A and B are shown apart, each in its own frame.
Chain A
Amino acid sequence: MLWIYFSLAAAFAMFAYGAYKALLVFPPIYSPENPVMEELYRNVFFHVPVNASGFLGFTITLFASILYLKTRDMKYDLIAAKSAKVGVFFITFTLLTGMAWAKPAWGTYWNWDPRETTALIMWFVYLGYLALREAIGEERARARASAILGIFGYTSGIFTLLSTRIFPSLHPPTFGLRLEPEMGMTLGLMITGAVIVFLNLVYLEMRLERVKRGLAGGR
């Protein structure tokens, strides 16, 4: 358990340092056509890390689903389930920070920008995944059905990544964001912190599930 405390402490330190830099140190970016943007760009430092972690979560769900079908090891089913659950939680924050950005920058909270739209749909896909898990009682049947949906559902993730290339969008293309070196470093630090928090949450969720099962089995 000790390394959990260490890694979480490290992650929070990274996040706090990043937040300090992003909110208080970096200068406003000069933007003549949209003065609001001068301070608003700081949102990126929160929006991108939670988004990256959420995506990582769904990717883990994809691979764990494939591994489950190949090996039938219930461990992979547990990883897939918890990774999707925490992923949905993180993508919720992506959507919220996105809306907080959209209102001042583009005029409305929700614009049906392709990236926004596909991210929302992806969020629904994984909520559907969690709903499917809730609805199947027998654990092997649940593992099998949700693994298949975990593979099908990831197409929505791929669609989200490609959406800015397929449709004209307000978002910059994925992996196409250009920042000053120091800002890029800070963003990288915050992404790392968010990913560590994400992985710890998945791990704790898995432990919690095992403890619950142990209690139920011990009766």
Chain B
Amino acid sequence: MHAVEIRDVEKCFGAHRVLRGVSLSVAEGEAFVLLGPNGAGKTTLIRIVATLLRQDSGVVRVLGYDTRREAQEVRRRIGVVTHNPLLYEELTARENLTFYARAYGVPLERIEELLDRVELEERADEPVSTFSRGMKQRLSIARALLHSPEVLLLDEPTTGLDIKGRRDFYALLGNLLEEGVTLLMTTHHTEEAERLCSRGAVLRSGRVVAQGELSELKASVESLEDAYLQMTGEEGEG
């Protein structure tokens, strides 16, 4: 069974066709990256997999559950990290996690475990509004991991992080991958994706233009970045 299976997914916003028949699948326990320029439909696709958005047609299954008909089952099994940390600024780190833990029906001991894991136990009782961008993003990971999801969806998770923050973040993702968590992520930073992910797909104007092993995707050219630029026809931006 695939961790994530996307088949012929179409999505329009008014007259604008954002996704035009996207199909791809992510195996359990692998790290899969979605590449593509801004506006290619990466975020829309992640939001559909996360049950936050309904596709107009096509089917999405997460661990065998249909995202439209069995949304609750999907939600129990996925964790979502976006550039918005989905935290309440007035509340402390611990209060935020307490709220989400209760919403997921997770025992509260799990909070300490996760605060420890993302190295925030010292600041746990301070309001999130005093946190740096990197700390918020780490707390956001803790939030997404509360209910021990089997699939983690990440949409541009490292936006706004400095080099150290980014490195810590990827170290954490690496650990999760070793624990058997499936990762589906979007990013602009191809070299980071290369380090972590084994397979990927390139989206352009709502279509998958290439899909497969990252090593294959870049076989014909010097680097993945070149392959990316060539396939998307984008100039200058990396």
Contacts and interface: CB of A to CB of B under 8 A. Distances in A.
Interface residues of B, number: 3
Interface string A123-141: 0000000000000011100
A50 to B, nearest CB: 35
B1 interface: no
A139 B16 CA distance: 11
Contact of B13 (A138, A216, A217): A138
B14 interface: yes
Contacts of A137: 14
A217 B14 contact: no
Contacts of B15: 216-217
6 contacts: A137-B14, A138-B13, A138-B14, A139-B14, A216-B15, A217-B15
B43 to A, nearest CB: 16
A40 B14 CA distance: 51
Interface string B1-44: 00000000000011100000000000000000000000000000
Interface in A177-219: 216-217
Interface in A2-59: none
Contacts of A216: 15
A103 B34 CA distance: 71
A217 B13 CA distance: 14
State the majority secondary structure of interface residues on A.
Answer: helix
Contacts of A139: 14
A75 to B, nearest CB: 15
Interface in B158-181: none
Interface of A: 137-139, 216-217
Contacts of B14: 137-139
Contacts of A138: 13-14
Nearest to A217: B15
Contacts of B13: 138
Nearest to B56: A140
A139 B12 CA distance: 10
Nearest to A144: B54
A217 B17 CA distance: 12
Top 6 nearest A-B pairs by Cβ distance?
A139-B14, A138-B13, A138-B14, A217-B15, A137-B14, A216-B15
A63 B205 CA distance: 38
A137 B16 CA distance: 12
A141 B13 CA distance: 9
A213 B13 CA distance: 15
A159 B14 CA distance: 36
A122 B97 CA distance: 46
B51 to A, nearest CB: 16
A137 B14 CA distance: 8
A139 B15 CA distance: 9
B9 to A, nearest CB: 15
B90 to A, nearest CB: 29
A216 B14 CA distance: 12
B69 to A, nearest CB: 13
Nearest to A139: B14
Nearest to B16: A138
Contacts of A217: 15
A46 to B, nearest CB: 41
A138 B13 CA distance: 6
A134 to B, nearest CB: 15
A138 B14 CA distance: 6
A213 to B, nearest CB: 9
A139 to B, nearest CB: 5
Nearest to A141: B13
A45 B14 CA distance: 44
A217 B15 CA distance: 8
A76 B186 CA distance: 37
Nearest to B13: A138
A146 to B, nearest CB: 15
A135 to B, nearest CB: 15
B67 to A, nearest CB: 15
